[in-house]
Structure 1
Amino acid sequence: MTVRFSLRRSTITTVLLVTATLTCPPPSTAATIAVVDTGPVGFAAVNALGQNGTTGGAGGPTVTATTTAQFLDYIARPGPYIIQVSGTITLPTGSSDGMHDVTSDKTIIGLGSTARLVGGGLNIGLPVDDDVTSPPAEAVHNVIIRNLSLSGATDDLINVQMFSHHVWIDHNDLSNGDDGAIDIKRGSDYVTVSWNRFHDHDKTLLLGHDDDNGAQDVGRLRVTYHHNYFDGSDQRHPRVRFSELTHVYNNYYRDNSYGVASTYDAKILMEGNYFFSVNNPGRVEFSGDLGRIVQRDNILVDCNHEIETRGSVPEPRTLYPYTADPASSVPTVVPAGAGVGKI
C-alpha cells in the first residue's frame, strides 16, 4: 500500500510531495464522536452583503412539519422561521420537477435521526435570469438546512442559485438524486457545506453553472466544504468553475472516481483531506480552461494519481477563523460525526 503525504510550507503557492511505503489496513471508521456546531465555520460565517453570518430562522417562531402541506407552507412563508421536520415528508414533482423554493431567513432541521425528505428537492434562489449579473436586493439569503436525509429527487437534492448567499448545509445524509446532490451556481456566495454524508450518488457537488456563465460567477462562488464524508459517491467533490475561493478541508474521500476538479481559473485550496482509493484526488487538467489548486497536508492512500497543482490562491485564514484537524484523524472523525442524528 502506498501512502502519499504532503508537507506544508509557509507559502501557499507551491507544494512539496514525499512518498513513503507503509503496510496497513484500510482506515477504521468505528468511533463515537459527538459534533456540536452552534454556527457555521467558513464562508457562511463571514459578514458580507449586508448579512452578518448565517443565522437562519433565529428570532422567528419554531414550527413542526409532519405533512407535505405543512412543510411546503412553512418554507414559503416570509420572515424568519425555524422549521422542524418530523418523520418522512414526500415532496411532489408537479410542475416544478420536484424542486421547491425556500425563502430567506429559514432554518430547516430534522428531529432526531429519522427526518426525511424524499422524491423532490429544495431550491434556494430566485428564478433563473441570465440578464441579471449582480446580486439583486431580493436575493434569497440566510438559510440553514441541517440533520435531514434527502433522497430520490427527480432533479437536485439541494440547489442554490441566482446570487443566493449565506447558506449553511450541515449534518445531512444525501443520496440517490437524479442530478446534483448539492449544486451551487449563478452568482451564489458565502456558503458552507459541512459534516454531510454523500452516498449512492453520481454527480455530487457542482460549483459554477457552466463554462459560459462567467458574467454571473466571476468574483463569487465563495464556498467552504469541510468534514464531509464522500462514501463511495462517484464524482464532483466538488467540480468547480470561476470560484473566487473554494476551501476544501478535512473531508474524507472513500472509493470515488475523482475528488476535486478546478476549471476556468477557479481558486481552490485542498487542505488536510484524506483520500482512500480515489482515482484522481484533484484535477486541473479536466475540461475547458485550467483552474488553480494549491494543496497542503493531504493524505493519499491507494490513489492512482497525485493531486494536480497550479497557481496560487488566497489564504482562507485572512477571511475567517478555522481549525483544521490532522489529516490522519479524518477517517475516524468524519464518518463518526457526519450525517444525521449527530447534532
Structure 2
Amino acid sequence: MKNRIMYTAAIAAVMAVLALACKKSATTETTPLERQDLQATSAAAATCTAPGWASQNGGTTGGGSATATVVTTYAALKSAITSSSVKVIQVNGTITIPSGGRISFQDQSDKTIFGSAGAKLVSADQTKDNSGIIYIKRCTNIIIRNLIFEGPGAYDTDGWDNATLDACKNVWVDHCEFRDGVDGNFDIKNTSNYITVSYTKFTYLKAPKAGGSGGSDDHRFSDLIGSSDGATADRGTLSITFARCWWASGCVARMPRVRFGKVHIVNSLFNSTASKSCVQAGFEANLLIEANVFESVKNPIDLMDNNSTAVQSKNNLFTSVTGTSAGNGVTAFTPPYSITTLGNSSVKSTVTASTGAGATLSGNTCSSF
C-alpha cells in the first residue's frame, strides 16, 4: 500500500511539471512579428568582410551586428534611413516611392540597409524633379545588400538615377539589382572613394521613352562614374571595384563610363545585345579591366576621346563581339588589395548562378570571394 501511494504521488508530480511546462510554452510562443524580428536580428548578426576598394581606409562594416529595424512601408523606410540612431534596416516586400518622395540619406555613418528575399524599392515617376529612389550624400561606412531598385524606365529629362553616391566614403553595394532607372541606374560622383560594387546586376526591362528634353531617345545608360571633365576635385578619388557584376539585357552604354577614378572591373559579365558601348574610358580614367566576359556586345572597351590615363585589358574573354576591345597600351594602377580572381572561363556560370549577381540572397548574408 505504501509503495502504491508513493507511485501515485510521483505520477502526480510528473504530470504537474508537464502541465507547467506546457503552460510556459504556450505563453512564450513567438508571434509572427516576433519571429520576423528574431530572423532580422539573426540576419543582422552577419558581419562580412568587404572585398576590393571598400576594404581599404579602415574597411567597410556598415551597421555590424546591430539589431535590425524591419520596414514594410515608405514612411517607415524613410524614417529608418534618415534616423542616425538606426544602424541596420531590413526591407520586407515591395515599397513604392511616391512621386517626389526620393529619399535623402545624408551625413551618416555605420549603417546597413538590406532586403529579405524579393525585397524591392519601386519608383514610377519619370519627371526631372520627382524621379529617383535614393540619394546618398556624405555618408561613410555603408552597406547596401540584396535589394532590387526598380525605376519606371529610361527617359532623357535630366532626371534622377535609381541611386546615387555623392561624396561618400567606404560603401559596399552587394547583391543588388538596379533596373530601369530614368537617367541611369546607379551613379557615383563628387569625390566618393573606397567603393565596392559586387555581385550586382544592371538591366533595363522596360522600353525607353523617347522625346526627352536631353535629346536622347534611348537613354538606357547604366552607370556614370564622375559627373564631368571639369570636376577636377575628383582627382585622387573615385577608387572603385566592380567585382562579379552583370550588365544584362537592355543596357546601351555606361557599363560604367569613368572619369578620373582608379576603377577595377573584375570577373564581370557583359551580354546586353542592345549595347553600343560597354566600359567607357573617359577623362583621366585609370582602368584595370580584368578577367571579364564580353558576349555578343558592341565596343566592349570604348576609348572615347583617348584622354584616359590608363586603360589596361587583362585576361578578358571576348565572344561574338564587334568594335573596339583593346586598351590604350598604358598599364593601369596596381590594386592595393587582394581579391580572389576567377579564370574567365568560370565567370559566366558564377555570375548567372542562382546565388550570383542580383538580389539573390535570403537576407544579410556574406558573399563568397
TM over 0.5: yes
CA contact (8 A) 2:80 2:86 kept: no
- Measure the CA separation in 2 of the matches of 1:333 and 1:183: 25
Count of aligned residue pairs for this structure pair: 282
Check the 8 A contact 1:241/1:291 in 2, yes or no: no
- Is the CA contact 2:201–2:247 (under 8 Å) kept in the aligned structure 1? yes
Cα distance, 1:302 vs. partner?
0.6
Q: Show the counterpart of 1:21.
A: none
2:297 is paired with a residue whose SS is strand
Residue in structure 2 matched with residue 210 of structure 1 by the alignment? 228
CA drift of 1:100 comes to 2.9
How far has the Cα of 1:152 moved from its partner?
1.4
Question: Is residue 2:132 matched to residue 1:141?
Answer: no
Judging by fraction of residues, say which structure has more strand: 1
Matched, 1:223 2:240: yes
| Post-superposition offset of 1:187 | 0.5
C-alpha distance in structure 2 between counterparts of 1:70 and 1:37, whole Å: 24
Alignment of 1:165-180 (within 5 A): 165-180=169-184
For residue 242 of structure 1, what is the aligned residue in structure 2? 260
**Match of 2:284, SS?**
coil
Aligned residue among 259, 278, 281 for 2:297 = 278
Q: 1:288 Cα deviation (Å)? A: 7.3
- SS at structure 2 position matched to 1:73: helix
Cα pair 1:141 1:166 within 8 Å, conserved: yes
Matched, 1:38 2:26: no
Q: Please, what TM-score do these two structures have when normalized by structure 2?
A: 0.73
DSSP 3-state at the match of 1:279: coil
Conservation of the 8 A alpha-carbon contact between 2:253 and 2:276: yes
Deviations 1:135-155, CA, capped at 9 Å, x for gaps? xxxx31111111111111662
**Which has the larger helix fraction?**
2
Structure 2 distance, partners of 1:203, 1:306, is: 18
| 1:291 to partner: Cα distance | 4.2
* 8 A contact 1:79–1:105 mirrored in 2: no
Relative distance call for 1:259 and 1:88 in structure 2 (3 A) is same
Unaligned 5+ residue runs, structure 1? 1-35, 126-138
Q: Is the 2:281–2:308 contact (alpha carbons within 8 Å) kept by the matching residues of 1?
A: yes
User: Given the alignment of the two structures, is residue 111 of structure 1 paired with residue 116 of structure 2, yes or no?
Assistant: yes
For residues 277 and 330 of structure 1, what CA distance do their matches in structure 2 show? Answer: 15
Q: Could you say what the CA RMSD is over the residues aligned between the two structures, in angstroms?
A: 1.9
Q: Does 1:82 align with 2:88?
A: yes
Of 153, 158, 161, which aligns to 2:163?
A: 158
Give SS of 2:81's match.
helix
In percent, how many aligned pairs have the same letter? 33
Deviation of the 1:107 alpha carbon: 0.6
* Cα offsets for 1:242-270 (capped at 9, x unmatched): 11x10000000002322111122210000
**Matching residue's letter, 1:282:** I
Letter in 2 for 1:294: Q
